[in-house]
């Protein structure tokens, strides 16, 4: 269930949020919701214990699970990339 929430902040922050939301194609409400989702749930972890990960980085967790990649593969990748 979605409920309306009113936030009060400096006008320049509001304009910045609106501009950014247009660039990324999300509403300001969705940006705020995405940020709040990054916060630890009460009772589960303190702010100090919560990893400071962005939603994009968080979505990548486990992306290589089961992949057979090691440090040597990464070195070869870098050598090819920077030739």
Number of domains in the chain: 1
The parent domain of residue 50 ranges over 11-63
The answer as to whether 77 is a domain residue is: no
The predicted structure's pLDDT at residue 47: 45
* Mean of pLDDT values over 32-42: 82
Neighbour tally for 49: CB within 10 Å: 8
Average pLDDT, the chain: 85
* Mean of pLDDT values over 19-29: 94
The answer as to whether 51 is a domain residue is: yes
The predicted structure's pLDDT at residue 15: 95
Distance CA 75, CA 11 (A): 48
Tell me: pLDDT of 43 over 80: no
CA distances for 73 relative to 10, 78, 80, 81, angstroms: 49, 9, 11, 12
The answer as to whether 18 is a domain residue is: yes
């Amino acid at each position: 269930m979605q409920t309306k929430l009113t936030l009060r902040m400096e006008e320049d922050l509001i304009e910045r949020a609106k501009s950014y939301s247009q660039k990324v194609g999300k509403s300001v409400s969705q940006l705020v919701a995405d940020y709040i989702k990054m916060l630890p749930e009460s009772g589960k972890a303190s702010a100090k214990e919560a990893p400071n990960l962005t939603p994009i980085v968080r979505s990548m967790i486990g992306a290589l699970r089961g992949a057979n990649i090691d440090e040597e593969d990464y070195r070869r990748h870098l050598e090819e990339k920077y030739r």
